[in-house]
Chain A
Amino acid sequence: MEKKINYTISVYTENNVGLLHRLSAIFLKRHINIESFTTSECEIKDVFRFIIVVIMSKEDVENIAKQIEKQVEVIKVYFHTDHETIFQETALYKMKSSSLFEEKHIQNIIKESNARIVTVNPDFFVIEKTGFRDDTDKLYENLEEYGLLQFTRSGRIAVSKEKMGISEILNTFKNQK
């Protein structure tokens, strides 16, 4: 069997109610677990971009990319390995404010991990860390013993090293018209 690895699937779409459901149904139908799912605008006006992270074989990701691209409102689909993308995730860690002053280690941990304090108030403070999964995991491990009130991590956001020619595709269509 072919090795399963991380793939970042980038899906450029029209902005349409329900497209999220249509895309997630493609994975559901095949019983594929989605590791991360993010959506936002992209560099082109009125075009949206979904970034979906899955662990799959190359053969399977090729097939699922074609199934996604087949959807009427999907403009183009790309998929990349971790080596072919620049990607980041952001995590937030909420802790009791008292520990910031009582446990001086915490300040060192924050400093060493290049994390950032987003807000401090009398009751709690919030640390933000952007990086790879390993980085946010490591910070989690280091902070855990001091008591985390809340922890959350975003899905992956990524840009590819190769060019993704969405504008060209859209221009070709305009010219054909």
Chain B
Amino acid sequence: MKNKKISGAEAVVHSLLNEDVDLIWGYPGGAIMPVYDELYEFQDKLKHILARHEQGAIHAAQGYARSSGRVGVAIATSGPGATNLVTGIADAQIDSTPIVCITGQVSSHLLGSDAFQETDIIGISMPVTKWNYQITKASEIPEVFAKAFYIAKSGRPGPVLIDITKDAQFELFDYKYSKCKGIRSYNPLPTISNSSIDNAVELINNAKNPFIVWGQGVILGNAEKEFKDFVEKSGIPAAWTILGLSALPTSHELNVGMVGMHGNYGPNILTNKCDLLIAIGMRFDDRVTGDPKSYASQAKIIHLDIDPAEINKNIKVDVPVIGDCKESLKLITNKIQKKSYDKWISRFDDLMKIEFEKVINSDLNPKKDGITMGESIIAINEFTNGDAIIVTDVGQHQMVACRYANFIKSKSNITSGGLGTMGFALPAAMGAKMGALNREVVAVIGDGGYQMTIQELGTIFQQQIPVKIVVLNNDFLGMVRQWQQLFFDKRYASTEMVNPDFVAIAKGYYLDSERVKDRKNLKPAVERMIKSKKPFVLEICVEKENNVFPMIPSGASVSDVRLN
């Protein structure tokens, strides 16, 4: 290999191998054909999975990244191939998922000529990528790929896009690869200041009713153990944002549930009663804070985050602790006193009792004949023992799944949080399975989102990816319908869905599939699905017009959370 000239296309494959990539997702086309030709050559070392749509490829790469903790890679051609990646790139940007996208581009002499399948993907993707770069010379490939992987996975992770002109893929050059160790204009790991640790420790030691809200930063920072140590020594009740879910087991005695729009009653109410809020690896999204003016305004706030731009962005904080939370949590835990807050925690318990009576009981033990989404999730818990990766789409089923699914391991909750991308779950689930082959992966999807990327059943069939797909079908775009019911006078504008035969569609892809309409068949069907070693589509026909509660109406204060 030494000193032998290779093509840019071959260099792309070598660069991926040098970054320890063994699986990529994509869709071929004119401007990326030289790279595909090399993928054919190296298929024993680098597996390529053909999606049915580029959006499917990138969501699969995201699911892969989220379940494995590695960088996901998606590849597409120029023009429509590239633009079809954009939703997934935006999703990965807002949910901090490490992704490298490779797009083909027309030859450099054609740039700007409106050539066939030319699009300015660099310009289009710029606001939604952590970094992007257009390669027009083969010699740029090694350095740009090394930088791309370094940037995607370091600091606060995110998506990177590399656009490669077709002539650069053909061009021959001397290939030499060295991994990126640093970029002078980029500081992914800010130094933790001692004074910030001391200030945080002082507030924690003096708090009467402290409260922790953690987010995905704990998972992205591989800080689950440090986080658990901190929670246990401090004795402070802890609640999660939707993306923080699974970093601490559901059953942990200090895990008090979810915050935010459809979060638990207690954590939302008590956000506005605590005297100290410790926010860890979360970004005060509006779905978490409700009205920011009244959010925890009585409390001192400590904010641990690796991204300085998150400090004081949405909520003013008293003590920012900028840096890797794996380190900062350790430093804080060492210095705090061991404590417990029985009286304060009993207030969470009391509010949980109210939530159980008013919401949870009827979700899980319904009096009516129709199956609820809640009992469907409980059935999944029963047969997976809470050990599965649950991949959800966006909407009512997502909130219900996050509220009721049990988790014992981290990286087990995969969902589109920030962007709220319907159509995410099916492709993300096949990616998640490929990223964690020894784990059960269950996708829970609504009938709306399922049909946005339903074509990926083809990928699942061709690759025989053994994911379990649960379609919670209420023949409605349920979350929008719920809002129409509550805030738009029940004017159900374009939310009712006349659905096809989902079982027939699955069977059309030669996948095992069942439909459940009656409660008595629910558990047996879920059991058959989980026990199956093959991909399986289970359609559960659920109550059509159930609502998700608790709910904080948009723009209201977290303490105005409603139970009905």
**Chain A contacts to B: CB under 8 angstroms:** 13-14, 17-18, 21-22, 25-26, 28-29, 59, 62-63, 66-67, 69-70, 72-75, 170, 173-174, 176-177
Contacts and interface: CB of A to CB of B under 8 A. Distances in A.
B122 A18 contact: yes
A13 B132 CA distance: 15
Contacts of B130: 72
Contacts of B122: 18
A75 B123 CA distance: 21
Given A18-B123, A21-B126, A69 B309 contact: yes
Nearest to A67: B309
26 contacts: A18-B134, A21-B123, A22-B126, A22-B127, A25-B126, A25-B127, A28-B127, A29-B127, A59-B312, A62-B312, A63-B309, A63-B312, A63-B313, A66-B309, A69-B308, A69-B309, A70-B307, A70-B309, A72-B130, A72-B131, A72-B151, A72-B186, A73-B131, A73-B186, A170-B184, A176-B182
A66 B322 CA distance: 13
A70 B182 CA distance: 15
Contacts of B186: 72-73
Contact of B126 (A13, A14, A18, A67): A18
B498 interface: no
A177 B181 contact: yes
Closest CB pairs A-B (n = 8): A66-B309, A173-B184, A25-B127, A75-B185, A72-B131, A72-B186, A70-B309, A22-B126
B493 interface: no
Contacts of B308: 66, 69-70
A75 B127 contact: no
A77 B36 CA distance: 41
Contacts, number: 51
A95 B313 CA distance: 49
A17 B307 CA distance: 25
Contacts of A66: 308-309, 311, 313
A73 B185 contact: yes
A25 B122 CA distance: 13
Interface in B118-171: 122-123, 126-127, 130-132, 134, 151
B131 to A, nearest CB: 5
Contacts of A17: 134
Given A18-B123, A174-B184, 11 more contacts: A18-B126, A21-B126, A59-B312, A63-B309, A66-B311, A69-B308, A70-B308, A72-B186, A73-B131, A73-B186, A177-B182
A29 B127 CA distance: 8
B183 interface: yes
A73 B312 CA distance: 23
Nearest to A65: B309
Contacts of A25: 126-127
A33 to B, nearest CB: 17
Nearest to B308: A66
B185 A72 contact: yes
Nearest to B123: A21
A177 B182 CA distance: 8
A150 to B, nearest CB: 30
Contacts of B307: 70
Nearest to A76: B185
A73 to B, nearest CB: 5
A21 B181 CA distance: 27
Contacts of A59: 312
Of residues A66, A67, A177, which shows the largest number of chain B Cβ atoms within 10 Å of its Cβ?
A66
Contacts of B183: 72
Nearest to A26: B127
Nearest to B136: A17
A21 B120 CA distance: 12
Nearest to B309: A66
Contacts of B131: 72-73
Contacts of B309: 63, 66-67, 69-70
A18 B129 CA distance: 13
Interface string B162-196: 00000000000000000001111110000000000
Interface string B293-321: 00000000000000111011100000000
A71 B72 CA distance: 21
A170 B186 CA distance: 11
A75 B182 CA distance: 13
Given A62-B312, A63-B312, A74 B185 contact: yes
A164 B258 CA distance: 44
Contacts of A176: 182
Contacts of B134: 17-18
Contacts of A22: 126-127
Contacts of B185: 13-14, 72-75
Contact of A173 (B127, B182, B312, B313): B182
A168 to B, nearest CB: 12
